[in-house]
Structure 1
Amino acid sequence: MRRELGGGWSIDLDGTVVGRVIGANTRFTGFGRTVWAAVWDLPAVEPPAETLAWLKTGARPHGLRGFEEPGSDDEELRYASWCRETAAGQDRYGLYAYTVRPTSYVHTAFLATVADDLDWAVTAWRSLRHRPGRDHGGAPLAGS
């Protein structure tokens, strides 16, 4: 099910997850999985490679596996790191990802309780799409 994130960005997530806006972020939860998404506008048209280089300076280092790839078109770049973490004494896994375009980017975190959810996280991350002129900021989220 396609979910709007604002700024023309959307993501495809299972229809059973519930979405909610928390501050400037959107959180989707369901069945041991959580997705956080934040859409950031860039002040001027900047080449995605420059923005991504800047973002990577503060990004988590490659954990168990790293991804760097082109996006859905020539103007988009993607970078992600799959990490194992411990929170409240429990192991959890997270794909921390950036999807960058010339005028905006999305910072996402796909959190799961099992390592086998890597395929789910990567598939969801790769489903991020940008459609210029579609700004749904502040609109109610489907399933919320």
Structure 2
Amino acid sequence: MRRELGGGWSIDLDGAVVGRVVGGNTRFTGFGRTVWTAVWDLPSPETPADALAWIRQAGPPRPLRTFEEPGADDEELRYASWCRETENGQERFALHAYTLRPTSYVQAAFLVTVADDLDWALTAWRSLRYRPAPHHGGGTPLAGG
């Protein structure tokens, strides 16, 4: 089920997950999985490559795996790191993922309790899409419409 994140971004998640806005970010939960998403503006004149260099430098110190993949088009960059974490004494796994475009990017965390959910997290991350709002400029309407 396609879920809107704002700013032209959306993600495909199971229909059974519940989403809500928490502190300006969107959190989806269900079936022992949590997805946090935040949509950020990319400040001008910073490029997606500049932001990605900073993200790599500031990211987790020892990820289990990293993923750098082509985006939906030449303007999009995608990077993620798979990590083992401990929160409140509980072990979990997290895919910290970024999808960057020239004007904005999505920072997402896919939190799971078992390492076998990596494929699910990657599939969800890869489903992120950007579709800018249609421009409603002036002009002549099409005949017969």
Which structure would you say has the larger Rg?
2
Above 0.5 in TM-score? yes
Look up the match of 2:85: 85
Look up the match of 1:117: 117
For residue 120 of structure 2, give the secondary structure of its aligned residue in structure 1.
helix
Residue identity opposite 2:24 in structure 1 = A
Look up the match of 2:133: 133
Question: What whole-Å deviation, never above 9, does each CA across 1:51-97 have from its counterpart, x for those lacking one?
Answer: 21122222223511110111111100011000011222221000001
Question: What whole-Å deviation, never above 9, does each CA across 1:93-132 have from its counterpart, x for those lacking one?
Answer: 0000111000000000000000000000000000000001
**Structure 2 unaligned runs (5+)?**
135-145
Give TM-score scaled by structure 1 length. Answer: 0.88
Question: Does residue 105 of structure 1 match 2:97?
Answer: no
Q: 1:23 to 1:29 in 2, by over 3 A?
A: same
Root-mean-square deviation (CA), in Å?
A: 1.3
How many residues of Structure 1 are paired with residues of Structure 2 in the alignment?
Answer: 134
For residue 102 of structure 1, give the secondary structure of its aligned residue in structure 2.
coil
Separation of aligned partners in 1, 2:81 and 2:62: 5
Deviating beyond 6 angstroms after TM superposition, the runs of 4 or more aligned structure 1 residues are none
Question: Does residue 48 of structure 1 match 2:48?
Answer: yes
Question: Does residue 20 of structure 1 match 2:2?
Answer: no
Percent of aligned pairs with the same residue? 75
Look up the match of 1:138: none
Q: 1:75 to 1:32 in 2, by over 3 A?
A: same
Give TM-score scaled by structure 2 length. Answer: 0.87
